[in-house]
Amino acid sequence: MLTILDKYILKRYLVTFLGMLLLFVPIGIMANLAEKIGKIIDNEAPLSEVIVFYGNFTLVIGNLLLPIFLFLSIIFFTSKLASNTEIVAILSSGVSYTRFLRPYFIGATFVAILIFMMGMFIVPHASIGFNEFEYEYFKKGRKDRVTSNIFNQLNGSDYIYVSSFDPNRKIGYNFTYEHFDSIKKLDYKISATNIRWIEKDSIYRLTNYEKRRLKNDVEIIQTKRRLDTLFTFKIEDLTPVSYVAETKNLFELDKFIEDQKQKGASNINAYILVKYKRWALPIAAFILTIIAVAVSSVKRRGGMGLNLAFGIGVAFIYIFFDKVFGTLAEQSGFSPLLAVVIPNLIFGTFAVYMLIKAKR
């Protein structure tokens, strides 16, 4: 049951956190708009799309920075409590430091649940519009996917290849489809000058179709100038957009990663990293809460300014570690799990050290 002390600290915790969001999110939007306004005007982006983009921008960027906002919020209001000697009074009344931390952990739990729900179910949907707008108006001419020499393993017996793919026209060139039997021997091979997805009929159209089948050491060849047919794969499976993992919710992402593992996707680490980061962000909320309380609960000569300066420094270091290990996982053979665990482990150890020091 919550005591008066719990309600007092928890109220300050959540109000300050909300205030921090209401303060910095509009600043972030205005800073981004000031940077991108030239491209928006030059590319004649519709006002309605711009408004939707910045709604998605708020969700995508805000969710990533929620632990940082939480961290700075705690430093801000706890430093005020310390400067008013309220913390000294609380601890002098017989309340242990561990008991003093309880409302902070309750607040961190609320925020962690918010981060989890947003990261797993809300932000993925917003990420679709966010990234599509980015590539349409801000990264014009920059590819959002691999479009040449595309090879995919659909399952244990089927393989497809196209020399190039046009995602706008949904057409692949120099298409090859190979099917192997149970003993891994080539059963048949389909080739075509191009493969096109016909949206209105939900079929694939092959041009200059040729099918070669081996039967009793005899090669049987079938040819057609044009063939409309069905395949089990989706045209998007030929080359998913680079940000595809960010657009999947909790359940879709797990299935997507399994499918990509089966296909032998070369950038599988990037997808796994997205998954682990979604689980790591809520944990980071608790770690940063401990550090923030430990730093700001002690009254210092520099006051709130010194604590905030320290907090901003720690926040930048945390983001730096996250980016460095994330890049290692995406562009090398470094484990995505370790890329996520190591920054939290480092800051978790630092949190324990700071907590022990604060208790003294």
Per-residue confidence (pLDDT) for residue 345, from 0 to 100: 94
Arithmetic mean of pLDDT over the chain: 88
**Long-range contacts, 76-81 (Cβ 8 Å, 24+):** 76/16, 76/20, 76/296, 76/304, 76/308, 77/12, 77/13, 77/16, 78/292, 78/293, 78/296, 78/297, 79/296, 79/303, 79/304, 79/307, 79/308, 80/304, 81/9, 81/12, 81/297
Per-residue confidence (pLDDT) for residue 127, from 0 to 100: 94
Per-residue confidence (pLDDT) for residue 53, from 0 to 100: 94
Q: What is the pLDDT tens value at each position of the chain, 360 positions in all? A: 788 889 999 999 889 999 988 888 899 999 999 999 999 999 889 999 999 999 999 999 888 888 888 898 999 899 888 888 888 888 888 888 889 999 999 999 999 999 999 999 999 999 999 998 998 888 876 666 767 788 888 777 888 888 888 887 889 899 999 998 888 888 899 999 999 999 888 899 999 999 999 777 788 899 999 999 998 887 777 777 778 889 999 899 999 898 888 777 767 888 999 999 999 999 999 999 999 998 888 877 767 778 888 888 888 898 888 889 988 888 877 899 999 999 999 999 999 998 888 876
For the segment 39-78, what is each residue's pLDDT rounded down to a tens digit?
999 988 999 999 999 999 999 988 888 888 889 899 989 9
Per-residue confidence (pLDDT) for residue 262, from 0 to 100: 77
Q: Nearest CA to 249 among 93, 119, 67? A: 119
For the segment 302-338, what is each residue's pLDDT rounded down to a tens digit?
677 788 888 888 888 988 888 899 888 888 778 999 9
**pTM score, two decimals?**
0.81
End-to-end CA, the chain: 28
